[in-house]
Amino acid sequence: MTRSRMVVVGGDAAGMSAAHQALRSAQQHGRELEVTVLEATEDTSYSACGIPYWISGEVDSRRSLIARTPEVHRQLGVDLRTGARATHVDHDAGEVHWVGPDGEQRLGYDDLVIATGAPSIVPDWARDASGAPGRGVQVVKTLDDGAWWIRALAGAPKHVVVAGGSYIGLEMAEAMLAHGHRVTLMTRSRVMSNLDEPMSDRVATALDVGGVTVHTGAAASGVERAADGSLAAVLAGDLRVEADLLVLAIGVTPATEIVQHLDLPRSRRGALRPDPHGRLADGLWAAGDCCDVRHRITGDWAYLPLGTHANKMGRATGDTIGGGDLTFPGALGTAITRFAAGAAYAEIARTGLGLVEAQEAGFKAVEVTTDGTTASGYHPDAQPIALSVVGEQGTGRLLGAQLVGGRGSAKRIDTVAMALWSGSSVADLAWADLAYAPPFATAWEFVSLAARRLAERL
């Protein structure tokens, strides 16, 4: 029996999940498989989502963010090559070209997994002559970026402009405030613009209480530099904000250049669109942030670059290559974060479709927002929580929910996500047997209560 050669480009969540699951799956199915991973950096399997908490000081070290070191991957049987940047896929020849310490090389494969991720967007105006972010400007993606921020923030308090009002923007604002820096946030539309406006407004209030100066409708468009080349100000159209540092948190873009010459299913922005097994074409696969995912409510493709999907897509892909039949069943757009600074504390979460998203997707959607508490109102652990629930008129189908609340509130979103996952109705969520005791819930659990109020209108 010949050993099949699997090559993975990209050694983070999707790629390493694919690599290890392929080995397990091949073993289960009695197949011979060798797995090589090409990773451009020296880091594998690290938590990009954890970087703001490392910068804030809540996480104590770079090492803590690394789930598995290259050595561990190798011990588990993966031929991992770090500092190995793939440059081109010659699918006809079954070879991937890559550049490593020893120069240009080629590697033959039977199955190639594209798990190249999605680097942060750095607009041209933010780059220096070398193409990298200019002095005082950085993104938040790699561990090296994290180390950069820790160095840059050392010493006297600085004025930091955060460009981007979504998850990473908020998390970085929190990290800066934790160290006593002054923070101004610029966002193209409004903060957390993937929430409906009333919930977004609640987040904006928390930012205000926490001491963040927020400029909405302000897409960062340039920088001014001092004579010595250091950052002087950040511009957003007519707006000019003096700044020592600029966080670029305006999104990511799928890294699919190495297969851009191939005729593969992909979105306009270049995200690959594999089938639920991760298959793009015979012998060619993709997983993780370089891919679109199927949205289970709309049925359409969506770009939702998150580690949780990357892990699952990698697992399904690797399992299939190894001879199994796991599939990635799609996504709901579930997301969660928090903003905590001084007296401000807001947990934020969403799943499925917001009202506007649902209407745009063609649903006859109805929404109700309910305010309540996470525990019995008389219990000291009770925290405020607000949930916006969206359902479909006529069918009573649950479409989504958005949440802003106090400590311990946000994971309530999983109850809604699980209901959405199984195609439940709003009434199902309203009447489900959820857990009640005074320190944990109201007698009619808040999530169900919010659903009940919507069910009465559907």
Residues binding a copy of itself (CB under 8 A): 13, 47, 49-50, 53, 58-60, 64-65, 167, 296, 306-309, 311-312, 328-338, 347, 349, 351, 376, 378-380, 408, 410-415, 417-419, 421-424, 428-429, 431-441, 443-445, 447
Residue 81 or 397 with smaller CB distance to a copy of itself = 397
Quick check: is 49 catalytic? yes
Residue number, 32 or 58, with CB nearest to a copy of itself: 58
> Residue type for 336, please?
I
Which amino acid type is present at position 179? H
- Closer CB to a copy of itself, residue 281 or residue 432? 432
What is d(CA 290, CA 301) in angstroms, rounded to the nearest whole number?
13
Write down the least CB distance from residue 440 to a copy of itself, Å: 5
DSSP-derived secondary structure letter, 269: T
Query: Measured between alpha carbons, how far is 336 from 227 in angstroms, rounded to an integer?
Result: 42
Nearer to a copy of itself, 267 or 383 (CB): 383
Is the alpha carbon torsion for 447, 399, 270, 130 positive or negative?
negative
| Number of continuous H segments (helices) and E segments (strands) in the chain | 11, 24
Provide, rounded to whole angstroms, the least separation between the CB of residue 451 and a copy of itself: 11
| Structure token pair of residue 363 | 């649903």
Least distance (Å) from a copy of itself to the CB of residue 304? 9
DSSP codes of every residue in 2-38? PPEEEEEE--SHHHHHHHHHHHHHHHHTT--EEEEEE
Q: Which is nearer to a copy of itself, 270 or 438 (CB)?
A: 438
Report the nearest approach of a copy of itself to the CB of residue 325 (Å): 12
Q: How far is the CB of 40 from a copy of itself (least distance, A)?
A: 21
**CB of residue 327 to a copy of itself, shortest distance in Å:** 9
Are 177 and 183 within 8 A, CB to CB? yes
Give the C-alpha separation, 105 to 84, whole Å: 10
Catalytic residue among 31, 49, 294, 302: 49
Torsion of CA 153, 156, 161, 167, to 10 degrees: 50
Task: Calculate the dihedral angle through the C-alpha atoms of 67, 68, 69, 73, rounding to the nearest 10 degrees.
Answer: -160
Which is closer to a copy of itself, CB of 40 or CB of 413?
Answer: 413
- Residues annotated as part of the active site: 49
